[in-house]
Amino acid sequence: MAKPRAYVMVSVDADTVVIGAREVKTRLAAEIGTCGLGEEIRVLETGSFGPSDAGIVAAVMPEGLVYGNLTPERIPQLVEEHFVKGRPVSAWLLAGEHILPDPETTDSRGQQYFGRIVLDNCGRIDPDSIEEYIANDGYFALGKALTEMTPEAVVEEVKDSGLRGRGGAGFPTGLKWSFCASEKADMKYVICNADEGEPGTFKDRLIMEGDPHKVIEGMALCGYALGATQGYVYIRGEYKLSIERIRNAIEAARENGLLGKDIMGSGFDFDIAVKIGAGAYVCGEETALIESMEGKRGLPRVKPPFPAKAGFRGKPTNVNNVETLANIPFIIRNGAAQFHGIGDPGTPGTKVYTVLGHINRAGLIEVPTSVTLRDVLEDYAGGMRSGSFKMAQLGGTAGDLLDASMLDVPLNYDSLAKNGHSLGSGAILFMNETIKVCDFLHACMKFFAHESCGNCNPCRNGMAALLELTARLKKGEGYPGDIALMEELVMGMQSIAFCPLGQSPAAPVLSAVRYFRDELHAGINVDAVRPRPEHTMRHLMKLAS
Amino acid sequence: MAIKLKIDRQDVEVPEGTTVLDAAAEAGVHIPTLCHVPKVTSPGSCRVCLVEIEGARTLQPACVTPVTEGMIVRTHSKRARQGRQMSVELLLANHPWDCNACVRNGQCELQTLAQTMGITDVRFPYTREEVPVDTSTAAVVRDMNKCILCRRCVAVCQDVQGVGSLAPRARGFDTVIGAGAGENLCDAVCVQCGQCAAICPVGAIYEQDAIEDVWRALDDPEKHVVVQTAPAIRAALGECFGLEPGTCVTGKMVAALRRLGFAKVFDTNFTADLTIIEEGHELLTRLKTALVDKGEVSLPMFTSCSPGWINFMEYFYPGLLPNLSSCKSPQQMFGALAKTYYAEKEGIDPKNIVVVSVMPCTAKKFEADREEMVDSGFKDVDYVLTTRELGRMIQEAGIDFMKLPDEEQDSPMGMSTGAADIFANTGGVMEAALRTVYEVVTGRELPMEKLHVAPIQGLDGLKEVALTFEKCQPDWSFLEGVTAKVAVAHGLSNARKVCDMVADGEGGYHFVEVMCCPGGCIGGGGQPRMTTDEVRQSRIKAIYTEDEGRTMRKSHENPAVTQIYAEFLGEPLGHKSHELLHTHYHAKEPV
Ligand SMILES: Cc1cc2nc3c(=O)[nH]c(=O)nc-3n(C[C@H](O)[C@H](O)[C@H](O)COP(=O)(O)O)c2cc1C
Ligand code: SF4
Ligand code: SF4
Ligand code: SF4
Ligand code: SF4
Ligand code: FES
Ligand code: FES
């Protein structure tokens, strides 16, 4: 078969699938075939291109032209004009800025962008093609590790890179690996946490959809470093396309001897299986995830023992986020130093976010950890779509609410921590003045109340109380003292709940009180009096006497 | 390995693997708990046992946190106290404030927690929706409005009893403890043992109360109300009045029952002795059929005096029903005889006799209601009270229990031996049977110290012993040299193990004693709370002391038993016995 002269890459991710991306792709291929161009022009699926408001998009390579808002009906004309007559249909072309900035571009503060680490292949290669991944340096890092590095050296390299977990807590990845690596056991497991339950967060999904092999390679490297022979990708059930692409990638890697027995003749055995998640938010917590993998109700475990000691099936287990693992091939390929040189030294590298809200372009971005919220808003999200910036929630429902005073703080753990905030899991929700803080908080509490597993008392009853307290504020029926009570409650839950989910409402509640106290206060009816449970009182007095 | 740590500035040294809770107890510090029940469950979920551990970001639950070398624990720092208070305040927030009209008033773990933590206000809103109270079974009432979701009941039903009828349903704030596939216990495979009621810390599960019915009968001048008390009651009733576990209160119990107005105070012990005679003969007959006649007979024979165990067999091992002794439980033998033998003897119209039992378990309530239990021509046993209910009745009647004199049961159905006493605890029925069977077969007393069969005593889940018959009496010469292998199990998860062995043709047992409740009836679901292993040991000790203090310690020595055969029953396993003292079982469809 002749080498194609061009590729059309249709961005098929879980969002565009539902609006017909697959139909567009099929129609494109059919139309190109009808015109007798099937040999010359290949139609491929790819992952997300990045923030977009342009419906179904497709890129024509190598020209790098991108069409947006495609429908099956538009295809015949497109093929006729662009491929037969050689005249791009300018009306449907998207402006260059819709594709991620190339390394030469600078941001609004004159800072230079850099190449992407995690998303470098997303939207550029066919995720179902291992050949394309390999052609783009794929599995180079695995080969390097297996032939040139000891497992200890891989752990050291990751430690030196300064990579911190991208699953929310920001725990240093190399350190985490070293715990599991030092355990002696006949079996160890590597788990990729692809449960991604935070509402509005779908970066892991887009990574898996756009470049599944990167995750597989990261897991294999992790397995080698830790002395584990089996990996699992725990994917939430709704992520049908991710499941499909990860499965294909595993299959292809096996066929190419990159998974399975004696990988690349090194004597290292490693295989990966997919486990489908149970669907609850708390299943993303690593011990609940392990319980769920063992076929039990997905409830968090009592720690210790920590998974590194006794995790899946009681064996040493390392759980990492999808994005964390997707950073590993770069680090091993290019060395810790290069990685460490990117972004903020305290949180080296990049961070992948899904950006959402009242902005012009919503979607997936990867930015160095030195950029600020303002950079993200103005350079990547295209500014506010309507109204003006009021607040942003950083890191999903369990994240902090920030007001305009925080726009210029760089988005990394240390800079945020200095301001009493944390980075969270990788979602940024921008909101304008139409959103009322009370309503927003109530919506967050609804999510938590819904997701509380109900196992432990403080979270189960605490979430119910928060739901009621915020509902009262929302209706302007709060009792005097409710705000202080809410603060006391979330802080209490932070130190008494069984698992981090019960500790989560603290972030949105405390930050909301910090920046929007007056607005919350407006939800209080100053004349109302909280009823005291007097019969309880009387009885306690009787008992005490 | 010993671990050294500091608890509230005290140096403590404990073995590795000890929890902070137990280490603190060593140091004389009592940390409150709720969801944790030693040896049963420790989900770490109620968060009332929180302590501050230096270096830990959050408060840690003492009940599940193992000690580590050099650990510094503060059990009543401000942070620890506030954390625990918040846990309890949150529990109270969604708990109905019904204390004054609650069965657990004054003996409720939640109340105690609130009180000891100095909680004087509950500031969080009550947001719960009322659910109907589950009164669907004869054994227990489940008021899920009061449930604090500690899941102790789930653990006991699943892990101790191996039944698994209770399980949390739904999630988050909507979580409820469901029964089987539904809301109500009648929708589940429940053996009615009441262990869930015994372990519940609050008023969410409690026995179906028969107190009103009993008062009504006592108040009715037409009725002749007699009472029987199970062997296990006397070793536990005192706990209702603040006595130490293991205080035997037989005499005061009899006196109290008389003062409550019962016409006759009899004893289930009497029919326990009778059970040994009937069951012993049944065993010997089965052995004869097997060894001499080479006939078809089911061995091992299982004891049948524990109704929860019968339910368990009917649900889970219908194939083994032929192995169950056909003897009714002592409670039901008593009822059938009270309305026939006793009625005849005293010339009372049986329709006016009301038989009340005081029993350690709720399954007896269910058993009394079984439709086959009407062999006297009437409902053999009218009402069943648990130990706890009797305690409440005595309190309600204003009887000063501690001031009561010791009194004796009435005859003839109040007469019994030490062998009947030990029906109360695991291993006891077997020991009582061996005392009689060995003597019947060999003509000599059981050759064991103080007549105790040591290997089957104690709280091990599954115990066994072998006994060889030598120099047999002529009638039993076929047993010469035969070694009888017997086993004892208590708690249904242990019973399950024996059943599985028997079903697989393993074990080689001839006779197996099973008691539904852990420790036997002394650990029954109707006994005063909380029954821990220490409490079980104390009650068992009290029972053995009672037994050893008797002059008659073997069932066949009971003159009232000899008398009833002479006057009424004829012979063991005879026609009348079959009619009144034996029963049959049916497989139950799992719901
Ligand atoms: C309620 C809850 C939900 C979580 N959900 C996720 C998730 O969806 N994905 C994820 O990677 N980590 C999640 N985590 C964090 C994990 O427990 C764990 O810290 C993470 O997978 C570790 O990976 P990392 O070290 O690579 O960040 C969640 C934690 C909690 C408490
Ligand atoms: S904190 Fe919430 S989610 Fe975590 S165990 Fe408790 S109830 Fe479950
Ligand atoms: S269960 Fe306890 S706290 Fe609840 S109403 Fe009854 S006595 Fe009061
Ligand atoms: S009575 Fe026994 S079997 Fe029934 S639910 Fe309670 S513990 Fe389980
Ligand atoms: S019913 Fe009682 S034992 Fe069961 S979970 Fe509720 S409070 Fe606990
Ligand atoms: S008693 Fe320790 S958490 Fe419940
Ligand atoms: S069997 Fe439960 S108390 Fe006797």
Q: Tens digits of per-residue pLDDT, B328-380?
A: 999 999 999 999 999 999 999 999 999 999 999 999 999 999 999 999 999 99
Residue B215 to chain A, least CA–CA distance (Å): 29
CB A456 to CB B47 under 8 A?
yes
> With 80 as the cut, is the pLDDT of residue B496 above it?
yes
Res A478: pLDDT: 92
Choose among B61, B86, B149: nearest Cβ to A460: B149
Which CATH number describes the domain made up of A6-92? 3.40.30.10
Question: Which residue in the block uniquely carries the two structure tokens 């501690």?
Answer: B402
Say if residue B216 is in the same domain as residue B199: no
Low pLDDT (below 50) residues in chain A = 1-2, 96-113, 534-542
Ligand 3 atom with least separation from CA of B106 = 7
Say if residue B304 is in the same domain as residue B343: yes
Paired tokens of A202:
């779908």
| Sheet hosting strand A260-263, strand order edge to edge | A260-263, A268-276, A230-235, A189-194, A317-321
H or E element in which residue A443 lies: helix A437-451
**pTM of the predicted structure, to 2 decimals:** 0.86
**CATH number of the domain at A437-521, out of 3.40.50.300, 1.20.1440.230, 3.40.50.180, 3.30.70.120?**
1.20.1440.230
For residue A280, the 8-state DSSP code is -
Instruction: Compute the CA torsion angle B70, B73, B79, B83 (nearest 10 deg).
Output: 120
User: How large is the ipTM?
Assistant: 0.90
Which sequence positions of B are flagged as catalytic?
279, 282, 305, 325, 364, 367, 372, 521
Domain A130-340 adopts which CATH fold? Rossmann fold (3.40.50)
> With 70 as the cut, is the pLDDT of residue B489 above it?
yes
Res A1: pLDDT: 41
Of B1, B53, B57, B59, nearest to B24 by C-alpha is: B53
Say if residue B482 is in the same domain as residue B413: yes
Answer whether B522 contacts ligand 7 (Cβ < 6 A): no
Buried/exposed code over B376-406 (b: 16+ C-beta within 10 A; e: otherwise): bebbbbbbbbbbbbbbbbbeeeebebeebee
Average confidence score pLDDT of chain B = 96
Answer whether B32 contacts ligand 7 (Cβ < 6 A): no
Do the beta carbons of residue B235 and residue B197 sit within 8 Å? no
Do the beta carbons of residue B119 and residue A540 sit within 8 Å? yes
Res A465: pLDDT: 94
Say if residue B76 is in the same domain as residue B201: no
Say if residue B304 is in the same domain as residue B334: yes
Rounded to whole angstroms, how far apart are CA atoms A291 and A501?
16
Rounded to whole angstroms, how far apart are CA atoms A413 and B111?
44
Paired tokens of A34:
């009808």
Mean predicted confidence (pLDDT) in B394-405: 97
B86 to chain A, any CB pair closer than 8 A? The answer is: yes
CATH of the domain at B11: 3.10.20.740
Do the beta carbons of residue B89 and residue B119 sit within 8 Å? yes
Mutate which of A118, A236, A282, A286 for ligand 1? The one with the most ligand atoms within 8 Å of its CB, which is A286
- Chain A positions in Cβ-Cβ contact with residue B115 (cut-off 8 Å): 540, 543-544
- The two beta strands, A268-276 and A230-235, are parallel
CB B172 to CB A451 under 8 A?
yes
- Chain A positions in Cβ-Cβ contact with residue B58 (cut-off 8 Å): 494-497, 503
| Sheet hosting strand A65-67, strand order edge to edge | A41-46, A6-11, A58-61, A65-67
Say if residue B85 is in the same domain as residue B231: no
Do the beta carbons of residue B509 and residue B323 sit within 8 Å? no
Percent residues over pLDDT 70 in chain B: 100
Between A301 and B439, whose confidence is greater? B439
CB B124 to CB A467 under 8 A?
no
Helix (H, G, I), strand (E, B) or coil at A402: strand
Res A160: pLDDT: 97
Res B453: pLDDT: 95
Residue contacts between A and B (CB atoms, under 8 Å) = 128
Do the beta carbons of residue B427 and residue B513 sit within 8 Å? yes
Paired tokens of A97:
């800025």
Say if residue B420 is in the same domain as residue B457: yes
End position of a domain, from candidates B207, B239, B262 = B207
Say if residue B176 is in the same domain as residue B253: no
Q: B193-218, pLDDT tens digit by residue?
A: 999 999 999 999 999 999 999 999 99
- Chain A positions in Cβ-Cβ contact with residue B168 (cut-off 8 Å): 454
Helix (H, G, I), strand (E, B) or coil at A23: helix
Paired tokens of B314:
């009917």
Res A59: pLDDT: 78
Mutate which of B19, B22, B35, B58 for ligand 6? The one with the most ligand atoms within 8 Å of its CB, which is B35
Residue count (chain B): 591
Between B580 and A107, whose confidence is greater? B580
- Chain B positions in Cβ-Cβ contact with residue A280 (cut-off 8 Å): 171
Centre of ligand 5 to C-alpha B200, Å, is 5
A470 to chain B, any CB pair closer than 8 A? The answer is: no
Residue A238 to chain B, least CA–CA distance (Å): 20
One-letter amino acid at B263 equals: A
Q: Tell me which residue range forms the domain holding B587.
A: 211-591
Say if residue B196 is in the same domain as residue B221: no
Say if residue B507 is in the same domain as residue B564: yes
| Closest-approach residue (CA) in chain A for B122 | A533
Position B133 in a domain: no
Rounded to whole angstroms, how far apart are CA atoms B200 and B63?
18
Position B127 in a domain: no
Domain boundaries, chain A: 6-92, 130-340, 343-432, 437-521
Res A240: pLDDT: 87
- Please give the tally of structural domains in chain B: 3
- Chain B positions in Cβ-Cβ contact with residue A468 (cut-off 8 Å): 125, 127
Res B530: pLDDT: 93
CB A453 to CB B121 under 8 A?
no
Position B132 in a domain: no
Burial of A319 (0-12, 13-18, 19+ CB in 10 A): buried
Paired tokens of B279:
């069951």
User: Who's near B135: CB < 8 A, 6+ residues apart?
Assistant: B141, B208
Position B241 in a domain: yes
**CATH number of the domain at A343-432, out of 3.40.50.720, 3.10.20.600, 3.40.50.2000, 3.40.50.150?**
3.10.20.600
Centre of ligand 2 to C-alpha A300, Å, is 7
Question: Which residue in the block uniquely carries the two structure tokens 């050949």?
Answer: A131
Say if residue B258 is in the same domain as residue B402: yes
Return left, alpha or beta for A108; rule: phi > 0 is left, psi -120 to 50 is alpha, else beta.
alpha
A494 to chain B, any CB pair closer than 8 A? The answer is: yes
Centre of ligand 4 to C-alpha B241, Å, is 27
Choose among A302, A465, A495: nearest Cβ to B83: A495
Say if residue B90 is in the same domain as residue B232: no
Indicate the range of A338-352, B147-161, B257-271, B556-570 predicted with least confidence: A338-352
Ligand 3 atom with least separation from CA of B99 = 8
Q: B544-571, pLDDT tens digit by residue?
A: 999 999 999 999 999 999 999 999 999 9
A450 to chain B, any CB pair closer than 8 A? The answer is: yes
| Closest-approach residue (CA) in chain A for B51 | A496
